Amino acid sequence: MKVFIFIWSGQFLSLIGSRLTGFGLNVWIYQETGSVTLFGLLVFFNGLTSLITSPISGVFVDRWDRRWTMIIADLCSGLCTLAIAGLLVTGKLEIWHLYANAILSGCFNSCQSNAYMAATTVLVPKKYLARAGGIAGIGRSVSKLISPVLAGVLLGIVGLPGIMAIDFATLFFAFVPLLLVRFPEPNLKSENTDENSFFKEAADGWNYLIARPGLLGLLIFLAIRNVFVGAFNVLTVPLVLSLTSPVGLGIILSIGSSGLAAGSLIMSFWKERENKIKILFGFSLFTGVFILLAGLRPSLYLFTVSDFFFFLTCPVVGGLVQVILQTKVPPELQGRVFGLKVPIASMGLTLGYAIAGPLDDLIFEPLMLPEGFLAGNIGQIIGLGAGRGIGLLDIIMGGILILTVAMAYQYPPLRRLEYELPDAIGDRFNSQMETEVASAAIESESGSQL
């Protein structure tokens, strides 16, 4: 785990910088426009880009050196942030600039993410894959935990341009570990890597999933679940801002993100065990329950508790999906399969991002105004006024997700996936990779001493 931890530490510090910028831009666009729809479009464009580009980047990840793929993608993403900072400082920043930046950053992030996930399989022994996923999740969750509060403070000290400059500076911490180590590579190169074989290679990942309906069903279920997760995430900021200030928003988001840390901590101590599918479905059921509870009353306390446990379920579900794919898919195909997993999962998130704002602005918020159609019945139970349309939408989404989990569990290939599909990574492969990782670590340490 030594090399993996070294790389992860740099990615973690860089991620904090990215979260600072993300929080600052989210507050900026919502305060500038006051529109949930325009705010949701910013997230939508980022997700749409991953949906389109991830299958393509997956092919290149299986062709290219994964370490240099991560380095170049991180650098390009940082340059995008620097460009937005320049437009902001000169007073020329407009909403469409943020949408364009989301599209470009989404392209680079899909390359970086696919390379990172595929590299983890060859850096970490099979029995520790869940722990590695948990540690990576801790990085994501801790960054989400501290970034909103830190960004809220920094907005008053250095402003949004200063936050973006800090973000760009943190790229240094991501580059150093990647420059000092090398990744062991299994036989990733295809016999024919010319342009004519590109589409065939891309199709190999899809054909692998089609031939294994349990894996395909797992990804489809993840996509459906993500519709509700994406919509809930988009609606969180306007709902909380209807109850408190931006400073309060930062505190509540940080408390909610501590749920991510708790869920990731659970995964970091995970021991190799059976019944991953049952545990995955159980936590998905809890996701629906806490989305429903978050909308019941206009209460910051109820929302904060529900938000915490909602986020606690996410790294467990995501981590189990990743471990199942890493153990059931051959390493030479993982770039392409992860390249398909991202758009399938992102399809759900993107749909959730796209529909949440219009549903609230055009339907649910008017229904829950004091003079709205539901004011005399449902409004007497869950409250009326700003944000209660979002509350009603959360209640409905949570209920539908609970029913979805119950229906998906009835699909036999998905329910019996662990037992009917053999592992694609055996002990022999892990022994070979452990030797190569150790060799890489020794060479890297010797190089750093020189």
Amino acid making up residue 332: E
What's the rounded Cα separation, in Å, for the pair 71 and 246? 34
Tokens 């988001």 correspond to what residue?
253
Q: Could you state, in order of their start, the residue ranges of all structural domains in the chain? A: 2-189+198-449
**pLDDT score at 42:** 74
Tokens 């507050």 correspond to what residue?
27
* E strands present in 70-229: none
Task: Name the nearest CA neighbour of 50 among 331, 322, 353.
Answer: 353
Q: What is the largest CA-CA distance in the chain?
A: 76
| Contact between residue 222 and residue 281 where contact means Cβ atoms under 8 Å apart | no
| Conformation bin of residue 159: beta by default, left when phi > 0, alpha when psi is -120 to 50 | left
What are the DSSP calls for 263-298, one per residue? Answer: HHHHHHTPPP-S-HHHHHHHHHHHHHHHHHHHTSSS
**pLDDT score at 444:** 39
| Contact between residue 320 and residue 279 where contact means Cβ atoms under 8 Å apart | yes
Tokens 């010797």 correspond to what residue?
446
**pLDDT score at 225:** 93
Task: Name the nearest CA neighbour of 101 among 76, 64, 126, 118.
Answer: 76
| Contact between residue 400 and residue 228 where contact means Cβ atoms under 8 Å apart | yes
Task: Name the nearest CA neighbour of 70 among 25, 16, 111, 128.
Answer: 111
**pLDDT score at 316:** 87
Give CA separation, 334 vs 62, 152, 268, 324, in Å.
8, 39, 22, 12
pLDDT one digit per residue (tens) for the chain, 450 residues: 777 788 888 888 888 888 888 777 877 777 777 666 676 677 677 667 766 777 777 777 777 777 788 888 888 888 888 888 888 888 787 778 888 887 887 778 777 777 777 777 777 777 777 777 777 777 776 777 777 778 777 877 877 778 888 888 888 888 788 888 776 665 544 444 455 566 677 677 788 888 888 888 999 999 999 999 988 988 887 888 778 777 777 788 778 778 877 887 777 776 666 678 888 999 999 999 999 998 888 888 888 899 999 989 988 898 888 888 888 888 777 777 777 777 787 778 878 877 888 888 888 888 888 777 777 788 777 777 777 888 888 899 999 999 999 999 999 888 888 888 887 765 444 444 444 444 444 343 433 332
Give CA separation, 359 vs 234, 298, 384, in Å.
12, 19, 17
Q: Does domain 2-189+198-449 have CATH number 3.40.1160.10?
A: no
**pLDDT score at 356:** 84
**pTM of the shown model:** 0.66
**pLDDT score at 224:** 92
276-313 in b/e burial notation, b at 16+ Cβ within 10 A?
A: bbeebbebbbbbbbbbbbbbbebeeeebbbbbbbbbbb
Paired tokens of 381: 């139970």
| Contact between residue 368 and residue 374 where contact means Cβ atoms under 8 Å apart | yes
Residue partners of 81: CB distance under 8 A and separation at least 6: 18, 21, 101, 105, 164, 167, 168
| 3-state class (DSSP) for residue 374 | coil
